[in-house]
């Protein structure tokens, strides 16, 4: 009977300790999980210092725009062109050929030129950085012509 009491005593100790042991293990697992989550949140809310690599500088090249008008003036004529701020500029022609140049730093520009003369031929040309982007010529009395570049 004495041996039976001893095994019963050992069993009763295990019966008493298994619940606190399981609770302790669960608490350790939960504590580890909370610690891991807090560590990840610290990395998100406090990112590492910025890189020592300098920011990339985007170079914008200036564009030289030239409007040209040519032909036979006759008694007179006019040119209307859009400047680089897209404002219309009207010029009464005294002689041909006529030209005006402007420079822009804008990555794109819409360019237009309209010409009308009393003569029998008119031509217009728009150049961007020395390259002809649009050119038109007409031949008839009171000639009118237009040139447009939509993405210079």
Tell whether 83 and 128 lie within a shared domain: yes
Percent of the chain clearing pLDDT 90 (strictly above): 45
pLDDT band per the 50, 70, 90 thresholds, residue 49: low
Within 13 Å, how many C-alpha atoms sit on residue 14's CB side?
6
DSSP 8-class letter at 134: E
CA distance readout (Å), 149 to 131, 134, 142: 12, 6, 24
Which tens digit of pLDDT belongs to each residue from 8-22? 566 677 777 888 888
Domain that holds residue 22: 1-53
Tell whether 100 and 137 lie within a shared domain: yes
Q: What are phi and psi of 25, to 5 degrees?
A: -65, -45
84 domain residue, yes or no: yes
Tell whether 69 and 1 lie within a shared domain: no
Tell whether 48 and 69 lie within a shared domain: no
DSSP 8-class letter at 23: H
58 domain residue, yes or no: no
Q: Is the peptide bond before 94 cis (omega within 30 degrees of 0)?
A: no
Report whether pLDDT(40) > 80: no
Which tens digit of pLDDT belongs to each residue from 108-135? 888 999 999 999 999 999 999 999 999 9
> Which one of 35, 53, 71 terminates a domain?
53
Inter-residue contact 66 to 79 (CB < 8 Å): no
CATH number of the domain to which 76 belongs = 2.60.40.2880
């Amino acid at each position: 009977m004495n041996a039976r009491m001893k095994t019963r005593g050992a069993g009763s100790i295990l019966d008493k300790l298994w619940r606190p042991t399981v609770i302790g293990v669960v608490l350790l697992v939960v504590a580890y999980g909370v610690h891991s989550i807090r560590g990840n949140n610290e990395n998100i809310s406090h990112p590492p210092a910025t890189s020592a690599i300098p920011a990339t500088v985007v170079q914008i090249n200036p564009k030289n725009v030239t409007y040209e008008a040519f032909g036979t003036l006759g008694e007179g004529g006019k040119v209307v062109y859009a400047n680089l701020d897209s404002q219309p500029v009207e010029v009464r022609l005294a002689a041909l050929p006529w030209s005006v140049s402007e420079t822009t730093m804008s990555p794109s520009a819409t360019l237009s030129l309209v010409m009308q003369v009393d003569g029998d031929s008119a031509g217009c040309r728009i150049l961007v950085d020395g390259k002809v982007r649009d050119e038109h010529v007409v031949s008839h009395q009171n000639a009118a012509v237009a040139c447009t570049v939509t993405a210079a």
